[in-house]
Structure 1
Amino acid sequence: MTDKRPPFPPFTEETARQKVRAAEEAWNTRDPERVALAYTEDSEWRNRDTFLRGRAQIVEFLRDKWRRELDYRLRKELWACTDDRIAVRFEYEWHDEQGQWFRSYGNENWEFAANGLMRRRYASINDLPITADERRVAL
């Protein structure tokens, strides 16, 4: 394992918060290649009803996601952590090509390799249609 991404497990509350903040910042760039570098080469994902394995599938998934989910903006929050695992709650807002806004809520369970890269990500997500005036400015 030549790739390393501190902080490394085992996580404390402080280092888990750092990991969550780094993930939030990376996802808000909407750069699939940058985001994928935080995951092991053979990382396993479940995102809603989609199952992925490896960085190449992650990159393609994220490209497609951000083609559909326009003006995407995400906020993540630490829920819990243990040695090599972090649980996160999140919400993000986006709109489709027709201008319909959504707020998507969910939870993620993350498992990390010793080098600090995420080897498993399991996400459950629900979408709520909202009006433009219901958007959260602070998001």
Structure 2
Amino acid sequence: MLPPDDRQGFGDLFKHTKSITYQVLRPFTPIAIDSYTFTPIPLLHSKPTFGYFIQTPSENIAYLTDCAGLPQESLEFLQQKSIDICYIDAGAFVDSNGKKDSSNHLSHYEAAEIIKALAPKQARLIHISHTILESLRDIPLPFPYVL
């Protein structure tokens, strides 16, 4: 197998080529490991990034971390799935003036819009720093999702 095509971002992994087996992941092409199926989902970020649609024997999970959004094709793919739980990035903070502090992460407002579009049974906001949690105490969340 070939290593990831990102020498700058994964440079340290090339030092250990004998102890790591690489498998090329392709968008929307599932891979099975035991009774679990993982489907890579392209996400928007500063570098090529995947989230995953994970099918387990008991539930379907959308794991969408480290992203600033979903390409339309990814959104449409996930909308065709029955999602039991969605874990989604909400690492960017939006101040009281509406200014977002990161262009590579979703704010909790943006995450809420994606959650509404995907309609999972449950959702969890992830990739959140302690500074965002402190700030959220002063800004009520407009949706009933768990941090």
Higher RCO, 1 vs 2 (CA within 8 Å, ≥6 residues apart): 1
Larger Rg, first or second structure (1 or 2): 2
Greater share of strand: 1
TM-score, scaled relative to structure 1 = 0.27
Greater share of helix: 1
